[in-house]
Amino acid sequence: MQDKDFLVNLDLFVLERWSQLKNQLEKTEFTQFLHLEINKRMIERLDFLVYKPRNWIHWAPSLTEVESHKALKHFLSGAKCQILYEDTQDMVRATEPFKPKWWQYWQKSELVMTSSKVNQTEMIWSNLQLHEQSHPISLLRNWLELLSSNGFIMFSCFGPDTLVELRNIYHTLGWGAMGGTFIDMHDWGDCLIKLGYVEPVLSMEYLTLSYNKVEDLLADLRQLGRNTHIHRDSKVHGKRWLHNYKKLLEEQWPHKDDQGHLLLTVEIIYGHGWKIDRKPRDEQVILLDQSIKLRTPP
């Protein structure tokens, strides 16, 4: 299985560019809320553990994950943590808030520049990262190599129903591709099996975000990513087009509550899988379709 077989109609250059750009953006209340909320739900899923890992890796956290990192460290108190980045430039841009303060001289830095400098670990943690990767198969294969025997990965990412309201509008009005299609949890599960992960478990749930104004919705979307579809609209538009765009979104939005608030769907996929030094016989993926709709503040 190769990355090119897993990513369809995506502009890999734009994906790479966004991974660099996102760590230059100012963190916002929305992005911090989303990462912290999903991080909390991932921690709740650690209840299946008989014992907590003695060491773990936080994979490439962004500026928005400082509080999430602190919460996870508190839950895994006593465990040795390393923050791992593949790219040195990403590390320099994103990790200043993760470094010990000058007066915390007794604390050892957790930062590691490249995967070649890290020892095997019992857990790898990745929050809302996989859907932004231009090489997800290679990354999952790399994680498997970094795991010690009986180690596991815990990850979350966006599912294909994310932004479904906006996709429907683009399709109805013939505006072309709104963005790249997020990978389904069944495909993630099959991928984990083929790569050698044991007993992978995938689950999903829906978050429903509520907005008073279309401007607020668009501001949050800018923090979530960019249009990575290879057939996206490539034209440069002006202020008049933007005004008409907002007006059409307001009029055509298919999902509103009784007060007229715009409702936006975000599908979250959660997954974990083990590295066990044995040959599984008839390995199966456990899928937990929770289908929980949750109202969350914008």
Over residues 37-42, mean pLDDT: 93
CATH number for the domain whose boundaries are 3-158+182-204+269-296: 3.40.50.150
- pLDDT value of residue 159: 94
**For 233-265, what is each residue's pLDDT tens digit?**
777 788 998 899 899 999 999 889 999 999 999
Does pLDDT of 35 surpass 70? yes
- pLDDT value of residue 196: 93
Locate 177 and state its tokens. 């591709």
Does pLDDT of 274 surpass 90? yes
Contacts of 162 (CB under 8 A, 6+ apart): 182, 265, 266, 267
Confidence of residue 47 (pLDDT cuts 50, 70, 90): confident
> Which of 76-85, 91-100, 128-137, 197-206 is the least confident region?
91-100
Contacts of 274 (CB under 8 A, 6+ apart): 150, 151, 152, 197, 198, 199, 200
- How far apart CA 108 and CA 249 sit, in angstroms, is 50
Q: Which amino acid is at 284?
A: Q
- pLDDT value of residue 277: 79
pTM of the model as a whole? 0.84
Does pLDDT of 117 surpass 70? no
**Mean pLDDT (the chain, rounded):** 81
Cα atoms in the 13 Å half-sphere on the side-chain side of 39 = 25
- pLDDT value of residue 121: 92
Q: What is the CA radius of gyration of the chain?
A: 20
